Structure 1
């Protein structure tokens, strides 16, 4: 793991995510109440009406506003913690659950492996977004309110998280189980078993070391998969924390995200791309920049691990090539003629 932290690409991405998440929490806790309230109409110094919401980035720097006059910049900043942390937590729980079930399946329940594999075939052929949407749709909540923004529904968030974990665990479990099966064929693990090591000892001493780096790489990859999955769900109207129907004018209302998550901001406003493009493009840029940063971190991890394995291979080769240098008097040939003064007759 130390080699990963030496990767510049990983460190740059880690700093980017950390700063973004901290800034989001700082804004929500200390500055959100002090920001300007949403406004529908914009007046100049003379009191003349010059524009109505949504405002362009020129009228409301730096990224403009939505139909309710709320700043897109503050929405992105506020929703960063929900979007990034939600994906990170989902990815962690996927890896933890799949690793547990994968090890159990390989070491303790091998007879069930064929049954589990047949059961999970549906996850290979049916798109994950369809399974997730079918499970989440019955719990969808639309709340109608005149309030600026209600709090996200925590129970719904937990349920959505459980669904997003469930749709990935079966296939990931089989993958980790296959990795464990390959590791168990290593000679030193077989030697440990012959010497009497139990399964728990092998897990603690061998599998934990062998799996840790691969699981960390899987963790980074599943953050990207989770982000892509939630944006697909958002395009179907399934948002993290629920949706609030807020009146725009008399007799009409518009849905807004309760959590300000980036996927929700994109999914609810994508139809405005031809009218008020800044509403969608600003959030879309933040979303895909984050995905590119995480992809960069993943590539950095892969390169760091490949470099370390290459160094280990080179050290192993150099060790094999080394020959022990013997002193010329350290051995004698059995058929060599002895010197007269060392002859046994003179002893």
Structure 2
């Protein structure tokens, strides 16, 4: 335990020195606060239509302007942040749970379990992700729950591959043999000894997986297979703005900037965590 505490304390010191990562961490925290307080922060009801104020330019009461139905774009961007973050976080929790369970099973039990699970890892890794997600959403139908399930079920392969590699290195350690000699069950060894050593890998995969899920949600919503109108989503807002991209460019710029800033922030903090937590990257 002391060794783990020292490891994480050193990792925290390394992360603090990465000013860009810390800045992006504050951006992510800011986005989370906005998502939670969306009903309080948003100046207008994101779904309320007012055709007399349709396609207004940014300024005045509508800082980001209005869309073709007179809905406030700033309010819809704020609520869209809630959708994107929830999809990214929930889908990665699902993917990480599946990936850890299968990865640790393949690495710890080996033989037939490893062969079967590795086969499925290769299959899921080779299939075009967005195409598979489109097909799954078409089968399951629209809805947030189906979106969580689709992106989570299709995103586990990368995590499973990394966890399998970690467990293959750990399963022959002396403390694992000692636990077996003491009569510890496989479940006890997996949860007590292997999981703590896999936490750095899980943190990195979750942090880098969230922006991928956000982009996938935006892509599916853009194609009409994700979040459905009138629910505010950055991807669906960009899709709706195509007709007005020449006359009302701001309509597509603001949700596009939201996607870019969010995805870049998660990627940079993910890279920072990888540098801080990975001993090889430290050297």
The normalised TM-score by structure 2 is: 0.82
| Equivalence for 1:159 | 146
Separation in structure 2 between the aligned mates of residue 297 and residue 18 of structure 1, nearest angstrom:
12
1:47 corresponds to: none
Aligned to 2:272: 300
User: Quick check: 1:3–1:308 contact (8 Å CA) kept in 2?
Assistant: no
Aligned to 2:223: 236
The aligned residue for residue 202 of structure 1 is 189
Does the 8 A contact of 1:75 with 1:260 survive in 2?
A: yes
Which residue in 2 is equivalent to 1:18? Answer: 29
Structure 1: gaps of 5 or more residues: 43-52, 142-155, 244-256, 314-347
Which protein is richer in strand relative to its size? Answer: 1
Count of paired positions: 272
What is the aligned partner in structure 2 of residue 45 from structure 1?
none
In 1, the alpha carbon distance for the partners of 2:47 and 2:127 equals 46
CA offsets, 1:286-318, max 9 Å, x none?
Answer: 1110111111211221222257985xx8xxxxx
Look up the match of 1:336: none
Contact 1:235 1:267 in 2 (8 A): yes
Equivalent pair of 1:4/1:10 in contact (CA under 8 Å): no
Q: Runs of 4+ in structure 1 displaced over 6 angstroms?
A: 33-36
Gaps of 5+ in 2: 1-7
Distance 1:278 1:217, change over 3 A: same
Q: Which residue of 2 aligns with 1:274?
A: 246
Residue 14 and residue 68 in structure 1: after superposition, are their counterparts in 2 closer, same or farther (change >3 A)? same
Question: Contact 1:234/1:266 (CA < 8 Å) preserved in 2?
Answer: no
Map Cα deviations across residues 30-57 of structure 1 (whole Å, 9 max, x no partner): 7666799643335xxxxxxxxxx21111
Whole-angstrom distance in 2 between the partners of 1:259 and 1:36 = 7
| Contact kept in structure 1, 2:46 and 2:79, CA below 8 Å | no
- State how far apart, in whole Å, the 2-side matches of 1:30 and 1:127 are: 38
Counterpart-to-counterpart distance in 1, 2:45 and 2:234? 22
State the distance in 1 between where 2:92 and 2:262 align: 15
Checking the alignment, whether the CA contact within 8 Å between 2:58 and 2:64 is kept in structure 1 is yes
Could you say what secondary structure the match of 1:173 adopts? helix
In the TM superposition, what is the alpha-carbon distance from 1:282 to its structure 2 partner? 0.7
